[in-house]
């Protein structure tokens, strides 16, 4: 069995928290793991947000028992969570599962460039709060017979698809980042960035990234450009 040795208990707890949040939105969630050396990227897709989340995990050493120094596998998020031992700072990689379609369409790893105009973290969190309040207000105003799933989805799509001025980043990406624990209070403005590569946009924070694919995915490159070594 492949055993991942994380750098410390905090790293293990953060990984467990990320997996728990994914499972909150999808009890059968899968994650794709990619690792090289001591850098591990955990990819997930919470269905409510239509974004791809990337959690960077630091490893103390690549693997146990002399296994290969690289890893690329899609596994059950629930089984991976069950294997996390926070006190020992380890996690056992479960058996591979048939990956969902998104697992084969990961963001580009190279060629990212910084996009100007991203508001600071406090303003981003305020934008999420404002959008949530608007959704609640608009849905509360609906007559009971009009409060149907299609109508709720229509209102939600109209709100969450708005762009964060003056960028092209949809508000749903901010909501996902906050809900997954990436956009935390106290995060410095210098620690967040908006990046682009082709038709992809990526919001990067010290705790993870949220990527949005607007059309055709780009090519793969190296783990470093996805911020795998960044906490």
Q: What is the pLDDT of residues 168-224, one digit of tens each?
A: 999 999 999 999 999 998 888 899 999 999 999 999 999 999 999 875 333 333 334
Contacts of 132 (CB under 8 A, 6+ apart): 175
Tell me which residue has tokens 């100007």: 116
The tens digit of pLDDT for each residue in 95-106 reads 999 989 999 989
Angle between helices 171-179 and 121-140 (to 10 degrees): 100
Widest distance between CA atoms in the chain: 63
Average pLDDT over residues 28-50: 91
Q: Tokens at residue 34, please?
A: 């990619």
Average pLDDT over residues 8-30: 96
- Residue 222: its pLDDT value, please? 35
Mean pLDDT of the chain: 88
């Amino acid at each position: 069995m492949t055993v991942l040795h994380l750098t410390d208990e905090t790293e293990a707890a953060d990984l467990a928290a990320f997996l728990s949040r994914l499972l909150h939105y999808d009890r059968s969630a899968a994650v794709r793991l990619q690792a090289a050396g001591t850098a591990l990227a955990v990819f997930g897709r919470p269905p409510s947000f239509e974004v791809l989340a990337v959690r960077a995990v630091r490893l103390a050493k690549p693997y146990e028992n002399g296994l290969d120094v690289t890893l690329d596998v899609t596994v059950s998020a629930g089984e991976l969570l069950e294997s996390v031992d926070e006190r020992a700072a380890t996690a056992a990689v479960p058996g591979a599962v048939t990956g969902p379609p998104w697992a084969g369409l990961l963001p580009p790893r190279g060629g990212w460039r910084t996009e100007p105009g991203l508001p600071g973290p406090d303003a981003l969190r305020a934008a999420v709060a404002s959008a949530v309040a608007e959704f609640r207000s608009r849905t509360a105003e609906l007559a009971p017979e009009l409060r149907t799933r299609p109508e709720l989805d229509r209102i939600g799509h109209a709100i969450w698809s708005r762009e964060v001025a003056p960028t092209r980043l949809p508000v749903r990406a901010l909501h996902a980042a906050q809900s997954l624990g990436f956009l935390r209070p106290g995060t410095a403005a210098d620690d967040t960035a908006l990046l682009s590569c082709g038709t992809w946009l990526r919001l990067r924070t010290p705790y993870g990234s949220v990527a949005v694919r607007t059309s055709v995915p780009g090519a793969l490159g190296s783990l470093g450009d996805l911020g795998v070594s960044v906490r």
